[in-house]
Structure 1
Amino acid sequence: MKKISALVLTLGLAFSAGAQAIVDEFAFGFSPRTGDAWVDTQLGDINVFARGNTDGFIDDVVVSYGAPRYLVRELYYDRRWAPGDIYYACALAQLVRRPCIEVVDIYQRDHGQGWGVIAQRLGIRPGSPEFHALKGKVGKGHGKMKARGGPKAGASRGGNTAGPAPKGNRPEGGQGRGQGGKPDKGNKGRGNGR
């Protein structure tokens, strides 16, 4: 009985280490090149979240963007895509009203050009309302993931891992949100102190 338990534990650790190695590959040299430094940073943070909560990450992409679960799992485990790239592909696909697999195929073929070039090819121009909508999707997803608190999600950028900030005090884009969700420029992301 002890030998079977030890074997099961060893196999479990080996599979866990394998999944960890996949995510470690993503973090090194990750460069989405979206054309926006803030978005690039958020996608890097999504990589960190996925490291601590792979199932939560997969669930979020499936639920938020209607991506087929088999595709998200295949991209993550088999093709070894960075979670940030998976997230961006599916967010972009939803915005341009195409199946995620179409955007995945384009990026798979032309990833050397970066996400910014691919988004432009799909009709998302820098600074356009569509670009800001895409940026908002990334920010919203990053906030949800950080609030759920993967073990390293909040700590990756020195954030608080205690959970989500109270409604109305959530930092977004480096500024706190004051009354009515308007930027509270005086607090610079610290909320209103309540």
Structure 2
Amino acid sequence: MESGARRSTWKFGLVVVGMFGFGFALVPLYNALCDAIGLNGRVKMQAAVAAPIQVDESRMVTVQFVTTVNGGRPWQFRAEEASVKVHPGELRTVKFYARNTEDRALVAQAVPNVAPMEAAKHMRKTDCFCFNQQPFAAGEEKHMPVVFMLDPALPADVDTVTLSYTFFEVEQVAHKSAPAQPKI
């Protein structure tokens, strides 16, 4: 009976370690997926420069920016402009402001979302603070750019696009998702 319990404990321990490892692998896997298929508008600068796009000056699209801090943390996080009007094909830079109001250092990362869904595949970001984790010292503030373009193939009936970001504390999420190690 004891060897069966020991074997079950080892299997359970391996499952826990595997789940913990998978939790840490999610961000690199997500980044690799975004790079491979352009998910959430993530494209490499070379791809954007290699294929020049004609600006569609016949129409304007409003791009709204919405920010959220996960878990109600007291950080300050906002777009420096609530919205901008752009011609599809026009490269635009917008800055976001973030401040760590806590008395400790932290590492955070923003996760983007684009709405409406049919606009997501037409949003192209060549530079974004969301591509990397952002370390903040206690009380530190940053102005972080997003360089984007809406592809001229954006459906004509889409006149407003919302780009939203949710800021997560990366270390805290990893610690919360890691189950307690069983005592063996």
Q: Structure 2 length normalisation: TM-score?
A: 0.25
- Name whichever structure is richer in strand by fraction: 2
TM-score by length of 1: 0.25
More helix by share: 1
